[in-house]
Structure 1
């Protein structure tokens, strides 16, 4: 998962009230575990598939699932500080290091090597999906699945404004930033929104990487010394200024990215598969296309949105929690969750067919293609709280209070400061 992610935090009313939980109460003598995650209403149903399956297989352990609404990590942090946090919980790449540093999450390395574990380290995809979840060769959280970023496009809306399909651009080898500008020009001029731009660092990296730039290498910040990175900041800033893109923070109250897309008010959105179950429950005619590449590569590196499952270091039942953690992220757990209207694609090898066998949307293969070349930012995610600082800077940039150059310099400087360079 999302942010991270940035991952999407739209929650159904029931889950916002803490009432979205697995239906069975379990044996009174069973070990009781609690598990929390973010997600939209359809994602919550996906998570519960694996929870219910685990409970059916274990008479001695019962997992209760509850969604957390609102500001997920703030709520989770408050509960952790108050000793009321769940036994297991989702984390985004940007938050893992914070909880590693304060020893809030339990290492899983030893358990993975045991006979009890449902999954082994070597079963996870060789793609760059771990981010900060492995530090100093210790595994602290497991990738629940993967969510490579790509574009969703509304076929009906693009037809209405006379825009060329992104697939046609792609087939001609012209799916690049110029194509995005041409499409969003037409949408804007028709009184629609072209593309919804988030202010998470993860979303900014998509533009940097697909332009061949870097924000950081393995051990240092290089953003302010890379002209391709500045070019990315300048492009998205100009797109927001010229109303080709709309900054997500300025959308009408109560209108999130997915709602705008489903109501035919925006033509393009950037996300992983987490929006797909919701869109398939409507009559939307939509498809995927890789993130537009501004290099010679037809599919360029973009981000992989990740959610990691971690065990509360203060759980009363750490071994049982790790057992569920390994099951949920195993081939069996991921097959159960990702088959049919799943919300992601696998983080383990050998089960991509559970996604590719689906008939909708047409170009579902692009999800796997994007995962193979995508990556998760690691270096900057090792600094607790940095993701929030960067989001605040990008918000000022999109609101016009900082130029692209100023935002880039601030982002680079605060990153170096918080990383101790």
Structure 2
């Protein structure tokens, strides 16, 4: 009898254990989100923790932290942490990637993203964006903004926002020079061209002020070429700044106006004095920039300013101009791919960009449906031109961004041209030769 009772007890325990095991296994994926490792979402371990990194000024970082806090409230199962990196950004991220400590998602500039694509450090985003559950789709973005983030039709980074290049103009400086019809009015009437720009800078110079400050950066120099219908690179990635007649004409226009002092190269300005400071002190008529000047300019109640698209020399009302961009990328080795992509997609979608850029933000949305953040408050009066420029503009081509040191070499040679008043043809021939040599050397190493 005792043996029978003992046998029954053993059977009951065995059956109970079997029932409990079946109840907790239930299909093999209970409690684990698609794309997450088992256990990362379990009650014992709590929230999925992800980290994201970026650069930024204090105002931007405050807005980023607010967004992160808001995201965490909306997603109680995820805890996102912002990691600001104030200096040596690229090198620090590369070191962290090598050591396996890099954040799950992070910002990348155009040159950096090419390096990350080539070394296989970041996840392709195309299939994630194509997923029906994604908060953002590839087609939501303006096509000219992919730039260096696109390789062979595959997307490796989402444009967080963008900054179409426009000309900011100081109304007081123009009026004091006797200019009665403002550039924005000329643009609306289809009369904003190189001749009108030169006529204005002539008058500004004659009034004792600076006409236009030329920055030594691709987004300015390339914009002058494309506003003339020219190209800096051909379809195969060859530099043609000295070969393309329209490009040569654009560089000649800049060169002649620098010599006549209608245009002032930024490198000749006193140390610590940039175009923005001169603009705010009513010393210059035009500066080229994106929307990043708005937070600064709107603080000055006495400053009279507006924007206009790049002047053209083609007979068209508007031509493409450069658009500086940055991207958000997904660490290929993240253990929390789904949670990280959820953050990324909501950071760059319509709602995310509206949240980050509203209230006089310093950039323009890179997706459709969020234009109201640019137009709010009519600051500046013709803010619509930012959107017009975005529609047809372009990010830095991977032909330049993808070659380490190429932009710096080109800019250094241009700096010598503007500073030393060298012969234009000789300088442009040398720039084209050094650029194509560097491009071919890089291709030969791959």
Range of TM-score over shorter length: 0.7 to 0.9
Name the residue aligned to 2:10.
Answer: none
| Cα deviation, residue 177, structure 1 | 1.8
User: 2:9 maps to which residue?
Assistant: none
- Spell out, residue by residue over 1:33-85, the C-alpha distance to the aligned partner (whole angstroms, 9 max, x if none): 132124x554444444433322332332222142525x655665566667775
1:196 matched to 2:216: no
* 1:135 equivalenced with 2:151 (yes/no): yes
Q: Do the aligned residues in 2 keep the contact of 1:201 with 1:387 (CA within 8 Å)?
A: yes
Q: Who is 1:23 aligned against?
A: none
Tell me what 2:138 maps to. 121
Residue of structure 2 in register with 1:18 after alignment: none
Distance 2:107 2:158 in 1: 9
Distance 1:86 1:30 in 2: 14
Are 1:265 and 2:315 matched, yes or no? no
Q: For residues 295 and 357 of structure 2, what CA distance do their matches in structure 1 show?
A: 10
CA RMSD of aligned residues (A): 2.8
SS at 1:270 equivalent:
strand
Q: 1:73 to 1:55 in 2, by over 3 A?
A: same
CA contact (8 A) 1:43 1:277 kept: no
Which residue number in structure 1 is paired with residue 176 of structure 2?
A: 160
Q: Shift of the alpha carbon at 1:272?
A: 1.4
How far apart are 1:384 and its partner, in Å? 3.4
Determine the C-alpha separation between the residues in 1 that align with 2:173 and 2:100: 49
Distance 1:67 1:191, change over 3 A: farther
**Deviation of residue 133 (structure 1)?**
0.6
Deviations along 1:382-408, whole A, 9 cap, x unmatched?
333322222222222221264332332
Equivalent residue in structure 1 for 2:120, among 82, 98, 103: 103
Q: Which residue of 1 aligns with 2:329?
A: 310
Partner of 1:148: 164
Distance (whole Å) between structure 1 residues aligned to residue 339 and residue 274 of structure 2: 37
2:139 is paired with a residue whose SS is helix
Give the direction of change, closer, same or farther, for the CA distance of 1:236–1:43 in structure 2 (3 Å limit): farther
Q: 1:183 aligns with which of 164, 180, 200?
A: 200
Deviations 1:206-229 (A, max 9, x none): 000001111113214233221111
Equivalent positions of 1:177-326 (< 5 A) are 177-221=194-238, 222-283=240-301, 284-313=303-332, 315=334, 317-326=336-345
Pick the structure with more helix per residue.
Answer: 2
Residue 430 of structure 2 aligns to a residue whose secondary structure is helix
Residue 378 of structure 2 aligns to a residue in which SS? Answer: coil
Contact 2:104-2:331 within 8 A present in 1 as well: yes
1:263-321 Cα shifts (integer Å, max 9, x gaps): 22222111111211221222122111111111100111111221211234455655433
* Higher Cα radius of gyration: 2
Structure 1 distance, partners of 2:268, 2:90, is 22
Alignment of 1:336-355 (within 5 A): 336-355=355-374
- 1:311/1:322 contact within 8 Å kept: yes
Higher relative contact order (CA 8 A, sep 6+): 1
Aligned residues: 392
Decide whether aligned partners of structure 1 residues 314 and 192 sit closer, same or farther in structure 2, where only a CA change above 3 A counts: farther
Map residues 77-92 of structure 1 onto 2, 5 A cutoff: 86-92=103-109
CA contact (8 A) 2:48 2:339 kept: no
Q: Which moved more, 1:77-86 or 1:103-112?
A: 77-86
Please tell me whether the aligned partners of residues 42 and 278 of structure 1 are also in contact (alpha carbons under 8 angstroms): no
Which runs of 5 or more structure 2 residues have no equivalent in the other structure? 1-44
Contact kept? 2:184, 2:382, Cα under 8 Å: no
The 2-side partners of 1:81 and 1:184 are apart by 51
Aligned partners of 1:254 and 1:84: how far apart in 2? 37
Q: For residues 399 and 85 of structure 1, do their structure 2 counterparts lie closer, same or farther at Cα, with a shift above 3 Å needed?
A: farther
